[in-house]
Amino acid sequence: MAVYEYRGVLVATGKPTKGVRDADNPKALRAILRREGIMLTSATEEAKAKASSRRNIDPFAIFRRVGTEDVASMTRQLGTLVRAGIPLVDSISALTEQVEKEEMKRVLTAVRERLNEGIAFATALEQHKRIFEPIYVNMVAAGEASGTLEQVLERLADFLENQARLKGKVGAALAYPLLMLLIGVVLVSVLMIAVVPKVTSIFESMDQALPWYTEVLIGVSKFLGGYWWVIAPLIGLSIYAFQRWKRAPKGRMKWDTFTLRVPVFGRLLMMLAVARFSRTLSTLLAAGVPLLKAMEISHRVLTNVRLEEVVKQASGSIREGESIAEPLRRSGYFPPIVTHMIAVGEKSGQLENMLENVAKSYDSQVEVRVQALTSVLEPIMILFMGGSVGFIAFAILMPLIQMNQFVK
């Protein structure tokens, strides 16, 4: 059975419609849609549709991409349907008709097809790694094995919603300072390249010494105006070389180690990583995933190679019979309060609850620090923009004022 993207017309109203359905062949698809009151106008098999979309670049594809919020919403609805006693295949069929994004429709249709073939739910999800991460697949597998799929889906929905909420808050807090920085750089560049040369050209015809700051302004303006065609490619080449170096294993390790040591920002990155690691490990353990498997999955969400290496070494120590807290404490990267809480959780048998408490605590601290950082960055951006424009105006006006006094 194949998956088709189709377009058609509703017989009752004459309105165009489109969607994704599975059928043995186009003829069978036409018959299925006819029974539903849809006259088929075109149908494309999913594999061909994907190949065509890769050839025709869609500039608005980023807005239609399936995000964490979409997966969380779908998971929440699926958990509700399964808890209500609706069979899994029927639940996914209902969700396929309800979701709005075409990519999600295609994925759910493909998953439903695999389920009809007798494949396990987790195995079907594993074939779509771009949407369903390893933590999602492994938790679903644990839920299937233990018969608690609906509970696992609800935990997953909570986990994804928390992740999306924290990411949204951090992104929203940093968006305004970054926008101001971009506007400031563009404004100063336009002034230096287009405005300053025209205004300062009157100084060249006058035989008078200029203040040092005016000489600096004219020199910088001439350099930017005369060599922008060299500067722009050089900046692009530098960014490309840096990205290529950072993708290499050694470069990535050095960069990630450096970022953790940067004042203010390093501490913030560490707190984000600890919160993400703690919540992921807690969610997996609560779902019944074995500890070593949970550690293996959790290290992938850290997005920092240095911390990932620490967790890998901790996993090796756990295999040798050591506790979780001790190797994390020896690394020197995890805060003492975190390793202490993990140690208490291990001794009391409440490890997942203690990890959840760590995640909540650090999520709150991240929000507070980001808000504080934003409140500091905003006036810094304003001072940067005002200071740059003020320096340009001062360097231009002062010689004019001096010349005017000299003429008098």
Last residue of a domain, one of 57, 77, 98: 57
- For residues 181 and 305, membership in a common domain is answered with yes
Buried residues in 300-333 as b, exposed as e (16+ CB within 10 A): ebbebbbbbbbbeebbeebeeeebbbbbbbebeb
Asked if residue 381 is part of any domain, the answer here is: yes
Are residues 6 and 155 both part of a single domain?
no
What pLDDT score does 407 carry? 54
**267 in a structural domain:** yes
Whether residues 138 and 214 fall in one domain: no
Does one domain contain both 282 and 322?
yes
CA nearest 200: which of 218, 223, 174?
A: 218
Q: Kindly state the tokens that stand for 101.
A: 């994004």
Q: Are 356 and 278 in contact (CB under 8 A)?
A: yes
Q: What does DSSP say about strands 16-23 and 38-45: parallel, antiparallel, or unpaired?
A: unpaired
Q: Which residues of the chain have pLDDT under 50?
A: 49, 51-62
pLDDT for the residue 53: 46
Tell me if 324 sits within 8 A of 318, measured CB to CB.
Answer: yes
Query: CB–CB of 41/9 below 8 Å?
Result: yes
Please, where are the H alpha helices in 147-264?
149-190, 196-204, 212-247, 249-261
27-57 CB burial, b ≥16 within 10 A, e <16: eebbebbeeeebebeebebbeebeeeeeeee
Residue 149: the pLDDT is: 86
pLDDT of residue 244: 93
Calculate ∠ Cα 82-84-90, nearest 5°. 50
pLDDT at 406: 57
Of 103, 133, 159, the last residue of a domain is 159
* pLDDT, position 47: 55
Identify whether residues 269 and 382 lie together within a single domain.
yes
pLDDT at residue 239, rounded to an integer: 93
Predicted confidence at residue 251, as pLDDT, reads: 92
Boundaries of domain holding 78: 68-159
